[in-house]
Structure 1
Amino acid sequence: MSKNTPSEDVPVRRVDRILAFMSLGLLVLSILSFFAIMIGSSSGADMASGIWPLVGVLVYIAPIVAFALLLAVLIMSFTRRARANRGG
């Protein structure tokens, strides 16, 4: 039997909140970069110079990093909840 009642919940730590918002921010940044590439290429911008290569890399890298951050948040919350249920 668990010592905690079902209404008691494990509090959210600052690290979890920061990682979750970073993950969301990276996903939003990736979507905005995708639309910027679509608009820039349709307007005839030179995609090989300026900031465009960085924007192109963001579209590929940001969702992967966001997913990794989200997995880190999930793993940390599951382990913290398991420790709280165990009582230690």
Structure 2
Amino acid sequence: MSTRTPGEDLPVRRIDRILAFMSLGLLALSVVCFFAIMIGSATGMEQADFGTGIWPVVGATVYIAPILAFAMLMTVLIMTFVRRAKANKGR
């Protein structure tokens, strides 16, 4: 195993940052929507219809956003592995 100097690390690309922060944002949005459903259910919204207004979008966000966030994180991870493999191959 060889030692690496700190200057040899590959720089973080803009697309990597964008995908990582979008993934984090989607996870945070999913958690907020989950708590909104919980609070709405607990505060007497049983009489209100969760099938109207913004509630269907909030409910779908809870299911779809974590899947998209995971896919974005896997994309960043795969892109990083491929980029590092190409950089190590060229040395």
**SS in structure 2 of the partner of residue 11 of structure 1:** coil
State the SS of the aligned residue for 1:57.
helix
Deviation at 1:63, TM superposition (A): 0.1
Partner of 1:85: 88
Partner of 1:6: 4
Name the amino acid aligned to 1:49.
Answer: T
Matched, 1:23 2:34: no
Q: What is the aligned counterpart of 1:73 among 72, 76, 80?
A: 76
Deviation at 1:57, TM superposition (A): 0.3
* RMSD (Å) for aligned C-alpha atoms: 1.7
Unpaired runs of 5+ in structure 1? none
Alignment size in residue pairs: 86
Equivalences for residues 18-57 of structure 1 within 5 A: 18-45=18-45, 46=48, 47-57=50-60
Q: Between the two proteins, what is the percent identity of the paired residues?
A: 69
TM-score, normalised relative to structure 2:
0.88
Letter in 1 for 2:67: I
Deviation at 1:44, TM superposition (A): 2.3
Structure 2: gaps of 5 or more residues: none
Runs of 4 or more, structure 1, over 2 Å off, are none
Q: What is the distance in 1 between the residues matched to 2:23 and 2:14?
A: 14
TM-score by length of 1: 0.91
How much does 1:60 deviate?
A: 0.3
